[in-house]
Amino acid sequence: MVTSLQIPVKVWIELHDGDQEVPTSCDVIVQTETDTIYTAHFVTLAYLRRQMDLSYAVSQQFEDTPRVRYAALETPHIVIDEIDRDVIEDTLDNLIELDVFESLFTQVTEDEINDETDPDRTARVGTRATQEVAAVVLSDVLVVEDDN
């Protein structure tokens, strides 16, 4: 079986928990050897727990709302044990090897990926972001850890 692998050449990690001692979420930006750029949101179980606690706190503000803990995730999230460069890179390796990387990451560049060139692919191409989103992802990153 031949797969169309997206080999990362650069990985950037944008942390989201500036006020927390242990980060629980981050955006991961991946540039592949074809210069295609992808992004995905990585979170820990502690992040999900905090989201559930926040929804419960909000439900307490409304008299007719049942008090319930939940997390509504609008975009794909990749749940990992800890926000750590090695864990993220190992997860990337696994997602690429399992041929699900492109279905979990959002492509933020315009280059077309042609699934017809590889009929053995098992994953659909990830949702492509708009050029405006790509510009924000690439230029407005607040805290970035570069692998170089």
As given in the structure block, the two tokens for residue 80 are 């990992």
Q: CB-based contacts of 107: which residues, under 8 Å, 6+ apart?
A: 36, 37, 38, 113, 125, 126, 127, 128, 129
Instruction: Report pLDDT digits (tens) over 78-117.
Output: 999 999 999 999 999 999 999 999 999 999 886 554 555 5
Length reported for the chain: 148
CA atoms within 13 A on the CB side of 65: 11
Phi, psi at residue 4, to the nearest 5°? -95, 90
Q: How far is CA 52 from the centre of its chain?
A: 19
> Could you tell me the pLDDT band of residue 143, with boundaries at 50, 70 and 90?
very low
Q: Considering the chain, what is the average pLDDT of its residues?
A: 79
Partners of 13 in beta bridges: 28, 145
Q: What is the pTM of this model?
A: 0.71
- pLDDT, tens only, 14-33: 998 666 788 999 999 999 99
